[in-house]
Amino acid sequence: MNCIIASTSTIHGSNYLEYLKPKLIDFFKYKSKLVFIPFARPSGISHDEYTLRVKESLGDVFNEIKGLHEFKHPIEAITQAEAIFTGGGNTFLLTKELHEQGLIEPLTMAIQKGTNYLGTSAGSNICGPNMKTTNDMPIVYPPSFKTLGILNFNINAHYLDPNPNSTHKGETRETRLKEFLTQNNQSVVGLREGSYLEIEGRKITLKGKLTARIFEADKTPYELESGQTLNYL
């Protein structure tokens, strides 16, 4: 597999995909066409608006960028794609669309056979066995929480550490993920903003300047340093 699985598309003080751009230029250097999956619709924007955003950011990387909604036969578009990008937004909505259009298996198979895949936020959340560790509001009801399963563990994108100066007494992200582990067997990788996983063949490596927070059943959560691999999960 050849994947970049990022916590976010945009970090503070930068434009859309700007912080990832040097990596993406190298990652996609032999690809001329990109199929973009816009189904997560951040802030409710249209598929066309979302695809235009990607074209403005990656138009100098690809000769052609086309939203999956523009294809008459989306399954065929996925199976024949040179490169695929699934953008962030609402993971419930994204998962619902992928299931209802019969795209879960074709997308999984395309990635497993080596099609270059970029996921950000919701597009990263779907890489685990299920989408149960998303932070998103359940605005729709997907037929199943099952997702691509190209990773053996789940992703929690936009992972936030507790703020020691906050007066908020509600649950932290760590509390919620510990709750998940009482009911599920999957480990979880909390990806902080600006961090991403790089998959080369079977090797999975944490990249970026920050550590990741790792959650495993019956273990105290711990930090994984950038540059270390996650194949053991």
Compute the distance between CA of residue 229 and CA of residue 215 in angstroms, rounded to an integer: 15
| Interval 158-170 mean pLDDT | 80
Supply the CATH classification number for the domain 2-224. Answer: 3.40.50.880
Catalytic sites, residue numbers: 121, 136, 158
CA angle (18, 199, 50) in 5-degree steps: 40
pTM for the whole thing?
Answer: 0.95
For position 166, what pLDDT does the model report?
75
| Beta-strand relationship, 196-200 and 2-6 | antiparallel
pLDDT tops 80 at residue 158: yes
Q: Is 201 left (phi over 0), alpha (psi -120 to 50) or beta?
A: left
Domain boundaries, the chain: 2-224
Question: CA torsion 29→105→65→202, rounded to 10°?
Answer: -20
- Whole-angstrom CA distances from 34 to 18, 120, 221 are 17, 15, 37
Compute the distance between CA of residue 112 and CA of residue 116 in angstroms, rounded to an integer: 10
Query: Model confidence over 139-151: pLDDT tens digits?
Result: 999 999 999 999 9
Query: Model confidence over 10-55: pLDDT tens digits?
Result: 998 899 999 999 999 999 999 999 999 999 999 999 999 999 999 9
| Beta-strand relationship, 64-67 and 33-37 | parallel
Strand partners, 212: 224
CB half-sphere exposure, 145, CA atoms < 13 A: 9
Q: Measuring CA to CA, which residue among 7, 51, 28, 70 is closest to residue 78?
A: 70
Compute the distance between CA of residue 68 and CA of residue 15 in angstroms, rounded to an integer: 23
For position 13, what pLDDT does the model report?
87
At 198, give phi and psi (nearest 5°).
-110, 125
In angstroms, what is the C-alpha Rg of the chain?
Answer: 17
Query: Model confidence over 50-77: pLDDT tens digits?
Result: 999 999 999 999 999 999 999 999 999 9
Compute the distance between CA of residue 225 and CA of residue 126 in angstroms, rounded to an integer: 23
The shares of helix, strand and coil residues in the chain, as percent rounded to the nearest 5, are 30, 20, 50
8 A C-beta contact, residue 1 and residue 111:
yes
Strand partners, 7: none
